[in-house]
Amino acid sequence: EEVDYKTDSQYGAAMRAKNEAVSDFAKSKTIKEQREYLPVYSVRDELLTVIRDNKIVIIVGETGSGKTTQLTQYLHEDGYSKEGLIGCTQPRRVAAVSVAKRVAEEMGVELSSKVGYSIRFEDCTSKETIIKYMTDGVLLRESLIDSELNQYSAIVMDEAHERSLNTDVLFGILKKVAQKRRDIKLIITSATMNAERFADFFGNVPIFTIPGRTFPVQQYFSKTIQEDYVDAAVKQALTIHLQNGPGDILIFMTGQEDIEATCYLIAERLQKLEGVTPMLVLPIYSQLPSDVQAKIFEASEFRKCVVATNIAETSLTLDGVKFVIDTGLCKLKVYNPKIGMDALQITPISQANANQRSGRAGRTGPGICYRLYTDTCYRTELLENNIPEIQRTNLSNVVLLLKSLNVDNLLEFDFMDPPPQETILNSMYQLWILGALDNTGNLTELGRKMVEFPLDPPLSKMLIMSDQFGCSQEILTIVSMLSVPSIFFRPKGREQESDAAREKFFVVESDHLTLLHVYDQWKMHNYDQEWATKHFVHGKALKKVREVRSQLLDIMKQLKMEMNSVGTDWDQVRKAICSGYFHNAAKIKGIGEYVNLRTGIPCVLHPSSAIYGLGFTPDYVVYHELVMTTKEYMQCVTAVDPHWLAEMGPMFFSVKEAYGQNSNVLKRDIEKKGLREMEKEMEAEIRRKTED
């Protein structure tokens, strides 16, 4: 049905009467009553029987039916926690934390006691813990230490339909675990109906379906293609608020920046309208501090308008949503062959996502979904299903992990959907460049050490190399700072003030050193939160950095690395950075403009870079990552000496020294080696290795 929803006000009036009849359930019922109202409760006993009779079970149920919060508790109530831990994996950190909190509350226990969670750099469990929520990445790393995962009596692999990279690898690993262990229960849950693939993969295991309880959702498509989805969503939200009775609004946006802009615009425009009831505008995305995240679950006297990433699609359930606004977009990590690495890209969602999103409006009563794209676009441009992450991203970390699990031939690993061979080769090539694999594709000493760190390969390489440059303390801080997003904040209306504060920290040769400087200053001020806030630095982020730092330090000590410091001889620190990032080297082309030395891709210095403080732009730099917005921006940049590049990336670079034509000044330049030959040789070798 195609209507111009912008002029559709009669429908709103009709809906109002209906909506008012739906009471706010969460506010009036006890936790026990809430639990018993969930669809999964009506099939609790049958479900437990199926689990008792089968080692592996696939469970399908609509979002909100109680899979994530109830299954672990049912398993506990049925005695499985006597035999070991009950684990539940989540593709998203936010979901792991939020769900653990909820379950602790339902069981009336403190978080981290009987119920806990574990995500990268944050373990909130104890000896008492019997139900443990964690990211799939955490369980994957645990399998490195104990390949049979013996401490678990049951594992729920939640949100399998998401097909996250780590979940897909876990599929293969857990399938083996289940073959080896008689005393384990494996439960795979999915929000979507096409669960046959899962059942097939695990060997024709039973599929248990939780009967749904959903209300009809009216769909409206946009008549025209929306140029500006933020603006379109803002307008739609305000229209709903002005023309409809009670019912919360859920907007699906792409990511943090868009979400913040949307929230800001809605609040701003609401303020300008007179005599309008207030509306609570709340953002939700993974990097949001968890106390702010929790707000979306709090009861409110006024209409809530939650602006979310696709985290609200299936992993978090908000009761009371009656209106969904769907931009039709999400941010996905996609391997970009042009730049040879993953980049977050704004991508159209799939039809499956679109249906999930609209379903969120029909949880507690009939709802409406406004799609900010056309019907034709839905039918012809959106893919039917998601492309699993394993088929679209860089696999360096997975390759490293599998290699250390002694999976020698990666093409033989039991993937549900094997990644393209090219992707595997490419990842192996990147690991070879870093020295993690040798010429025959086997893990080197360095590679073995790299696996120990829960970091991306270049970061762990830089950390491992640092003691040889005498600066492991400094690099440890820098790596920790890089593991936490957004250190600086730049509030609206105070941009100049906050920029000036940031500039005071600048170490002009390097954004990395600037980060180091911020941390050291904070430390000098006794890790004071107020000091941080005063300097426009996120105090909470710094606190997190400190925790990450101490965890990485533990690993370094286990590896018997030397802890040393160069004081202020920061050239050594820049060298160490170069050792992990020479593959991201760029050469100057104009002011602030560079080209990647290997690929020739143009990339520009970010306006916020400390390098501008130099007064000139250095000839050679390395960068942490490329961020693609309007241009390809280098994020976190350090000036380097071309000789370092030749020294640390001999497979790529050599130094050319020559006198200029009209001068007797010795010019040093770096040139790209005849790399194709080497690349081909390496590729052939790896191919031989993986094919036989």
Instruction: Report which secondary-structure segment, H or E, holds 424.
Output: helix 421-434
Give the C-alpha separation, 379 to 570, whole Å.
Answer: 57
Contacting ligand ADP (CB under 6 A), which of 15, 58, 60, 64? Answer: 64
Q: Which residues from 458-487 bind ligand ADP, rule CB under 6 A?
A: none
* Count of residues near ligand ADP by CB under 6 A: 17
Tell me the window of 65-73, 174-182, 550-558, 646-654 that interacts with ligand ADP (CB under 6 A). 65-73
Instruction: Using CB positions, name the residue nearest to Mg ion.
Output: 68
Alpha helices in 108-228 (DSSP H): 136-145, 165-180, 196-201
At closest approach, how far in Å is the CB of 99 from ligand ADP? 6
SS3 81: helix
Give the C-alpha separation, 186 to 86, whole Å.
Answer: 10
The site partner of 441 among Mg ion, ligand ADP, none (C-beta below 5 to 8 Å per kind) is none
Q: Is 190 a binder of Mg ion (CB under 5 A)?
A: no
Work out the number of other CB atoms within 10 angstroms of the CB of residue 421: 14
In terms of CB distance, is 67 or 322 closer to ligand ADP?
Answer: 67
Q: Is 67 a binder of ligand ADP (CB under 6 A)?
A: yes
Contacting ligand ADP (CB under 6 A), which of 51, 58, 61, 437? Answer: 61
Q: Which residues from 90-149 bind ligand ADP, rule CB under 6 A?
A: 98-99, 101-102
Q: Pattern of binders to ligand ADP over 275-304, x per CB under 6 A?
A: ----------------------x-------
Q: Is 403 a binder of ligand ADP (CB under 6 A)?
A: no
Contacting ligand ADP (CB under 6 A), which of 317, 358, 393, 617? Answer: 317
DSSP 8-class letter at 346: E
Q: Which residues pair with 324 in a beta bridge?
A: 250, 369
In terms of CB distance, is 29 or 546 closer to ligand ADP?
Answer: 29
Give the C-alpha separation, 360 to 283, whole Å.
Answer: 17
As a whole number of Å, the end-to-end CA separation of the chain is 55
Tell me the window of 68-76, 137-145, 392-400, 669-677 that interacts with ligand ADP (CB under 6 A). 68-76
Give the C-alpha separation, 297 to 101, whole Å.
Answer: 12
Q: Pattern of binders to ligand ADP over 16-45, x per CB under 6 A?
A: ----------------------x-------
Tell me the window of 63-71, 567-575, 581-589, 669-677 that interacts with ligand ADP (CB under 6 A). 63-71
Contacting ligand ADP (CB under 6 A), which of 19, 56, 60, 65? Answer: 65
Give the distance from CA 332 to its chain's centroid: 9
The 10 Å CB-count burial string (b at 16+, else e) for 206-235 is: ebbebeeebeebbbbbbeeebeebbebbbb
At closest approach, how far in Å is the CB of 57 from ligand ADP? 15
Tell me the window of 62-70, 278-286, 395-403, 612-620 that interacts with Mg ion (CB under 5 A). 62-70
| 152-157, strands of its sheet edge to edge | 122-124, 115-119, 131-135, 85-90, 152-157, 185-190, 56-60, 207-209
In terms of CB distance, is 90 or 336 closer to Mg ion?
Answer: 90
Q: Which residues from 439-458 bind ligand ADP, rule CB under 6 A?
A: none
Alpha helices in 504-641 (DSSP H): 511-524, 529-534, 539-558, 570-581
Contacting ligand ADP (CB under 6 A), which of 19, 68, 477, 551? Answer: 68
Work out the number of other CB atoms within 10 angstroms of the CB of residue 587: 18
At closest approach, how far in Å is the CB of 96 from ligand ADP? 12
The site partner of 317 among ligand ADP, Mg ion, none (C-beta below 5 to 8 Å per kind) is ligand ADP
Give the C-alpha separation, 200 to 215, whole Å.
Answer: 31
The site partner of 135 among ligand ADP, Mg ion, none (C-beta below 5 to 8 Å per kind) is none
The site partner of 419 among Mg ion, ligand ADP, none (C-beta below 5 to 8 Å per kind) is none
Question: Residue 442 is encoded by which pair of tokens?
Answer: 């086997």
* Angle at the Cα of 608 from the Cα atoms of 92 and 475, rounded to 5 degrees: 65
Give the C-alpha separation, 405 to 401, whole Å.
Answer: 6
Q: Is 364 a binder of ligand ADP (CB under 6 A)?
A: no
Tell me the window of 59-67, 371-379, 513-521, 610-618 that interacts with ligand ADP (CB under 6 A). 59-67
SS3 409: coil
DSSP 8-class letter at 615: S
In terms of CB distance, is 319 or 683 closer to ligand ADP?
Answer: 319
- Residue located via tokens 């954004």: 511
The torsion defined by the Cα of 284, 290, 296 and 300, in degrees rounded to 10, comes to: -140
Residue 326 near residue 354, CB atoms below 8 Å: yes
Give the C-alpha separation, 308 to 287, whole Å.
Answer: 12
Tell me the chain's radius of gyration from C-alpha atoms: 27
Q: Is 361 a binder of ligand ADP (CB under 6 A)?
A: no
Q: Is 66 a binder of ligand ADP (CB under 6 A)?
A: yes
Residues 6+ apart with CB under 8 A from 36: none
Contacting ligand ADP (CB under 6 A), which of 319, 452, 571, 647? Answer: 319
Angle, helix 472-482 to helix 457-466, in steps of 10 degrees: 160
At closest approach, how far in Å is the CB of 293 from Mg ion? 16
At closest approach, how far in Å is the CB of 158 from Mg ion? 6
Give the C-alpha separation, 355 to 3, whole Å.
Answer: 18
In terms of CB distance, is 316 or 670 closer to Mg ion?
Answer: 316
Give the C-alpha separation, 311 to 252, whole Å.
Answer: 9
The site partner of 64 among Mg ion, ligand ADP, none (C-beta below 5 to 8 Å per kind) is ligand ADP
The site partner of 38 among ligand ADP, Mg ion, none (C-beta below 5 to 8 Å per kind) is ligand ADP
In terms of CB distance, is 65 or 423 closer to Mg ion?
Answer: 65
Q: Is 167 a binder of Mg ion (CB under 5 A)?
A: no
Contacting Mg ion (CB under 5 A), which of 68, 164, 358, 480? Answer: 68
Q: Is 293 a binder of Mg ion (CB under 5 A)?
A: no
Binding site for ligand ADP (CB under 6 A): 38, 61, 63-70, 98-99, 101-102, 297, 317, 319
Contact footprint for Mg ion (CB under 5 A): 67-68
